[in-house]
Amino acid sequence: MKTFKKILVPTDFSEASKRALEYAFTFASALGLEILMLHVIDARADTALVYSYREREEDQDMEQVSHQSMGEEAKRVLEEEAQKGITYDQKLKVTTMVRHGVPYDQIIRVAAREKVDFIVMGARGRTAMEGIFIGGVAEKVSRRAPCPVFLTRQARHVKRASGKE
C-alpha cells in the first residue's frame, strides 16, 4: 500500500484556490500529510526589459509579500474552517513556496523536485478567459504532472430535477 507524505497546493489566491486549500487541509489532517503551498509569479506578465539592480530588489520584496500573503491566506482558510465547525486532529505542517515562471511549468517542476504524492488545485483560476487564450493551467498540470492531480470546482448552485438547490 502506498504511503502518502506530501501534497502540493498551487494557489493564485482565487476562490477556486481557496476551495482547493480547504480540501488539502482535510486530506492532510486525515492522512498526516505535509502541505506545500505554491504561488507562481507569472513571468509572462513581466516586460522583456533588462532589470536594473534596484528593480531586482523590488522583485525580491514582491516574493516576500507573496510568502506573507500565502501564510495569511492559509491562516484565514483555517480560521474559516474552524468557524464552520471543522477541526483538525493534529497541527498541520504547511510550507510556502514562491516561484517565478510559467505557472503550469513551475507547478510540474516543484511536484517532481519535491516528490509530492499528489496535487490539489482549483479547476479554474482567476479568470475563465485564461483557459481560452492560454490553454488553462489546471488542464496542462493534469496532463503533464508526475503524480495524480485532484481538481476542485467552485461551488455552484445546481437546480436538481426535484426543484431543490
For 123-149, the pLDDT digits (tens) are: 875 554 444 444 589 899 999 999 999
Query: Could you tell me which of 28, 22, 12, 15 has the C-alpha nearest to residue 141?
Result: 12
pLDDT, tens only, 69-122: 766 776 677 567 655 656 666 677 888 888 888 999 999 999 999 999 999 999
Measured distance CA(92)–CA(11) in Å, rounded: 18
Instruction: Give the pLDDT confidence score for residue 149 in this predicted structure.
Output: 96
Is the distance from CB of 107 to CB of 40 less than 8 angstroms?
yes
Relative orientation angle of helices 103-113 and 137-144, to the nearest 10 degrees = 30
Q: Work out the pLDDT band at 47, boundaries 50, 70, 90.
A: very low
Average pLDDT, the chain: 75
Task: Give the model's pLDDT for residue 120.
Answer: 96
The residue extents of the domains of the chain are 6-152
Distance CA 84, CA 91 (A): 18
Quick check: 165 pLDDT over 80?
Answer: no
Overall pTM surpassing 0.75 (yes/no):
no
* CATH number of this structure's domain 6-152: 3.40.50.620
